[in-house]
Structure 1
Amino acid sequence: MAVLATDQIFQFGGFTLDLGKGTLSRAGQPAFLRPKAYALLTHLARNIGRVVPKSELMDSVWPGVFVTEDSLTQSVREIRKVLGEELVRTVSKRGYMLVPETEAVPEPGAQPIVAVLRFRNDSGDPANDAIVDGFAEDIINGLARFGTVTVLARNSSFSFASHSPAEWPAIRSRIGADYLVEGSVRRQADRIVAAVNLVDAASATQIWGDRYQAEAAGLFAIQQDIVEEIVGRLVVRVNNAGLQRAARRPMTSLAAYELVLRGVALLRDPAQSDLQGAAALFEAAIARDPVYGLAHTYLALSYVLNSEFGPTSDAVLAKARDLADRGIALSPDQATAHRIQSLVRLSLRDHEAAEHHLRIALQLNPGDAECIEQMGHLLTMCGRPLEALAWLARAIRIDPLNPHWYQYDRSLALYMLGEYRPAAEALELATRPTPWIRTRLAACYAQLGNMDAASRQAALINAEGSDFSPVEYARSVVPFESRADAEHLANGVLLALGQPR
């Protein structure tokens, strides 16, 4: 959709709605609606992409007048006769939505698809696993900055080990990779020795390989060299400016880098059982290297996650915001710094700033699966679930073995569209049903009319002794921009609990 002339002209589905002139046209030819249908279309256009509750539409079009839903239904029918059935969507038990012309989400097309496998730790010490994984993940992030290759996300590519060549052909069929990056890292004190190979997955033949050595602060430089070598062999022309923008500020302490990687591993743990331990590692990294931007960034994230989808105090969120600001100031060209600041701002209900930072992150690293997935979640919070699903589908395509939260965010977008059955199916994939997951499942089942299943889930919300409040969660914890969206979730929860709505 295009909006022109200070919200007076709306364009959708080939139609132009000009509120200044009071006209609706297509290809220069007028289209006619009766006054109430025109007023209804006007309100839907001002809220395009958002599910507008029936009560809101009736208050807008028939203010101060009692009418039945039949009047609304007749006006919607008239609009559909003019616009076509597909442009006005009915959302079950909720309202209507004027379907937007969704933003184009980057697609891989004919680009080569690359998977960076989990590197071998040749140090003989499991304590170095974090360094080895971090080295490979930084290569993933570097590759993802280029629009000329599609790199699969860490969760999918790290499911396979570099030391199993017999499995390489199977990886192609499992996650769709055309090329594999495999290698090993050996750490000796502050010295890193890395061997990296680029493999054609179909034939399991090596295309390129090299060996690198670096001391502490030189680690990022060899990662950049590796990325340049790989991209240069897979595409005709490498944009050197992109490589320069991808350059990271050298760390002053390898120990600080390792502490951050160990903290990130705790954050990635699906159980998230030691978030305080993660925060302590980030604080220790800052003590070692006070100007290491990502240490501040991840410390901010640990504060936001610490309540596991429960209420978080304004003081904690303010501290997280300040830390995220510091992370960006120290590492302005890091997509992760802006992505996490976006999450912090979303927790603070600053939706505009959240989208601003996330779009910067996507400019810096357009192929980053976590940024793409988070955009889907943010759009759901902003009342744009149909757009959200396009972004979430893209994230799932480049991370086919995606982590659990991809499906949780997808389920919420589906719920907001009234697609309660697929929303429940996505949540049922949970291997660790937490109180908030059970709350969402109960709401889905209640909206479906399956009160037995809804009651079972509701009864299990606090079965392990927690004092989780499902209604407070729906109304106050999930950072919806629109109160109507929060009430939509709360209504399902109240129905599941057998409480008045």
Structure 2
Amino acid sequence: MQQELTYRLGESVFNVSRGTLYRAGELVLPRPKTFKLLAYLARNPGRVVGKDELLDVVWPSTTVTDDSLTQCIRDARKCIGDEQQQIIRTMPRRGYMFQPSGALAVGPASVELPDGLERRRAEPCIAVFPFRSQALDEALKSTFDAVAEEITLALSYFRTLSVLAHYSTIALARTEPDGMQAALQEAGVDFVVEGRIDGGDPLFNVVITLSDTRSARRLWTQAFSFEADAVFDFHQTVAKRIASALVFNIESAAAHRLEPAPARNVGAYTHLMQALCLLRANGEDAAERARAHLWEAIAHDPQSGLAFAYLAWTDAVQNGYGRTPPERLDQALDHALRGVSLSPYEARCHRILGLTLMFRHDFPAAESHCRKALELNPYDADSIAQMGRLKAIRGNPAAGLELLDWAMQLNPIHPPWYYLDRGVVQLLLGRHGEAAETFACMPPRDVNRWALLSVCQALQDNREAAAASVRQARELEPGLSAATIRQVIMLEGEADNAWLRAALEKAGWV
């Protein structure tokens, strides 16, 4: 495996290998030229890079003035918070030098993966962008936003294809048009699926296009018309047409064997899609609003296994990662079991049941259902990351880190919980400095960030920094205790738990 290069730059974290930049836990999307300049400087730390060399790298075969380079340097410093010019230094009459305060090179050792999981990237890689629409009301717009995610999921069942995770695609979709092609190529996307929706009375008219990112050439276009009550069949139809347009040797068994049906009528489907949009948004009251839509979906279709599964998600996850009260976990388990019984071939139902069982500390059963989710959908980044966390919990953090790094490659612009899981695994491996770097990528308002940072700092004998992190955590949650933090980390073995109790005590938690 190639070594990763990651720089911690003040409150920014720049992963050169993955092409991601986070500042204070928030994703930053530099302009393509700015990113190219940053990446080149980061790969040449401590060396004066001349202006002519930078011009050749960033603007090959193009004549530009020094003002363009000066503006690009200014943008790069702004992106990483280097207003004091301490990281990108100007060397008068010579060029620029990248001089970070510290670099972290991460090269996880190759380990044996769990049985039945093969680490590879299928080709080609596809990104399904959110659909565009002008005339739809908000309810229908959110429905079709979620339909793009359903197409992503349906495509991922074809094992000769690789699909960029929906979270990453949403972030890429915000890129300015003049930088879109470069951004997609940086993310390793070979093809893009886009859609435009019109009408709705009585028919929806949707035009889907498939484009090659390298040539920007449209490879396939097709128009679809359907009535409102057929919307829940739409994503499966589109996924099959896209796959057929790309390859001729698709595993037809996968296409026909595993066709998750999220709902049986349009009312249920619409409420389910609105709930998924709310859960992704993570707003202040998003979980409760999502629950209302999920119950409406179940009222329309009592056989909607996915609606029950996401009710379990709101019970188990939205009430605290690993800290959900037992009564809510009992409720979550009931809903998750109902979801799997109604939709036994839906990978997400098994993944959510596995997560619920993990929070209940039933780790063998959790791993069994996570494995089932991966059998059904082997390229779902969230399931791979969840399996990585379970491997670490159960005493194999090396395999856990391998899986989490793989998940991050499949979903490079990932949600913040990936950092929580990866940092915990690094902590268990004794890589305390790397774990601190990872936890620092979490949002500043996340109490887990500061609690876990304090443990890393204490284990590095940096008691002053650890005490400061403890204070930050207690400002966010005054009643936070060592027992609560152990609930978040979750370990199966007694020796591991004894080590964790000692580490928390050293950090000042009681």
Indicate the TM-score class for this superposition, using the shorter chain for normalisation.
Answer: 0.7 to 0.9
Show CA shifts across 1:226-284 (max 9, x none).
21222223223122221112323373332322222222223223566532332222122
Q: Which runs of structure 2 are paired with 1:262-273 in the superposition (5 Å)?
A: 262-270=274-282, 273=285
CA separation of 1:130 and 1:484: change in aligned 2, threshold 3 A? farther
CA separation of 1:224 and 1:253: change in aligned 2, threshold 3 A? closer
Choose 409-418 or 242-251, whichever is displaced more: 242-251
SS at match of 2:395: coil
Choose 283-292 or 164-173, whichever is displaced more: 164-173
Show CA shifts across 1:324-369 (max 9, x none).
1111121111100000000011111111111111111111111111
Say if 1:478 and 1:486, in contact at 8 Å, map to a contact too.
no
Q: Determine which of 264, 276, 279 is the counterpart of 2:288.
A: 276
Read off the aligned partner of 2:370 and give its amino acid letter.
L
Choose 180-189 or 410-419, whichever is displaced more: 180-189
In the alignment, the residues of structure 1 paired with residue 378 and residue 509 of structure 2 have an alpha-carbon distance, to the nearest angstrom, of 45
User: Is 2:505 the counterpart of 1:497?
Assistant: no
Deviation at 1:289, TM superposition (A): 1.8
Contiguous gaps of at least 5 residues in structure 1: 1-97
In the alignment, the residues of structure 2 paired with residue 119 and residue 436 of structure 1 have an alpha-carbon distance, to the nearest angstrom, of 35
Equivalent residue number for residue 229 of structure 1: 241
Q: Which runs of structure 2 are paired with 1:49-68 in the superposition (5 Å)?
A: none
In the alignment, the residues of structure 2 paired with residue 136 and residue 475 of structure 1 have an alpha-carbon distance, to the nearest angstrom, of 38
Equivalent residue number for residue 82 of structure 2: none
CA separation of 1:173 and 1:190: change in aligned 2, threshold 3 A? same
User: Is 2:447 the counterpart of 1:427?
Assistant: no
In the alignment, the residues of structure 2 paired with residue 415 and residue 493 of structure 1 have an alpha-carbon distance, to the nearest angstrom, of 12
Q: Which runs of structure 2 are paired with 1:480-495 in the superposition (5 Å)?
A: 480-495=491-506
Equivalent residue number for residue 329 of structure 1: 341
Deviation at 1:110, TM superposition (A): 6.2
Read off the aligned partner of 1:468 and give its amino acid letter.
L
User: Is 2:461 the counterpart of 1:459?
Assistant: no
User: Is 2:381 the counterpart of 1:373?
Assistant: no
In the alignment, the residues of structure 1 paired with residue 458 and residue 203 of structure 2 have an alpha-carbon distance, to the nearest angstrom, of 58
Q: Which runs of structure 2 are paired with 1:11-410 in the superposition (5 Å)?
A: 101-103=112-114, 105-109=117-121, 111-161=123-173, 166-186=178-198, 188=200, 191-249=203-261, 251-270=263-282, 273-309=285-321, 311-410=323-422
Choose 484-493 or 291-300, whichever is displaced more: 484-493
In the alignment, the residues of structure 1 paired with residue 493 and residue 284 of structure 2 have an alpha-carbon distance, to the nearest angstrom, of 29
Deviation at 1:189, TM superposition (A): 6.5
Give me the identity figure in percent: 31
Deviation at 1:460, TM superposition (A): 1.4
In the alignment, the residues of structure 2 paired with residue 137 and residue 395 of structure 1 have an alpha-carbon distance, to the nearest angstrom, of 17
Say if 1:162 and 1:183, in contact at 8 Å, map to a contact too.
no
Say if 2:262 and 2:305, in contact at 8 Å, map to a contact too.
no
**RMSD of aligned alpha carbons:** 2.5
Equivalent residue number for residue 49 of structure 1: none
CA separation of 1:335 and 1:442: change in aligned 2, threshold 3 A? same
Say if 2:397 and 2:425, in contact at 8 Å, map to a contact too.
yes
Say if 1:420 and 1:444, in contact at 8 Å, map to a contact too.
yes
Show CA shifts across 1:1-49 (max 9, x none).
xxxxxxxxxxxxxxxxxxxxxxxxxxxxxxxxxxxxxxxxxxxxxxxxx
Contiguous gaps of at least 5 residues in structure 2: 1-108
CA separation of 1:443 and 1:284: change in aligned 2, threshold 3 A? same
Deviation at 1:219, TM superposition (A): 2.6
SS at match of 1:461: helix
In the alignment, the residues of structure 2 paired with residue 250 and residue 421 of structure 1 have an alpha-carbon distance, to the nearest angstrom, of 43
CA separation of 1:366 and 1:235: change in aligned 2, threshold 3 A? same
Q: Determine which of 429, 445, 456 is the counterpart of 1:444.
A: 456
Q: How many residues align?
A: 401
TM-score, normalising length: structure 2:
0.73
Which is greater in Rg? Answer: 1
Say if 2:354 and 2:367, in contact at 8 Å, map to a contact too.
yes
SS at match of 2:334: helix
Deviation at 1:294, TM superposition (A): 0.9
Read off the aligned partner of 2:371 and give its amino acid letter.
R
TM-score, normalising length: structure 1:
0.74
Read off the aligned partner of 1:357 and give its amino acid letter.
H
Say if 2:322 and 2:490, in contact at 8 Å, map to a contact too.
no
Read off the aligned partner of 2:221 and give its amino acid letter.
G
In the alignment, the residues of structure 1 paired with residue 130 and residue 418 of structure 2 have an alpha-carbon distance, to the nearest angstrom, of 21
Deviation at 1:176, TM superposition (A): 1.1
In the alignment, the residues of structure 1 paired with residue 163 and residue 122 of structure 2 have an alpha-carbon distance, to the nearest angstrom, of 13
Deviation at 1:298, TM superposition (A): 0.3
Read off the aligned partner of 1:239 and give its amino acid letter.
E
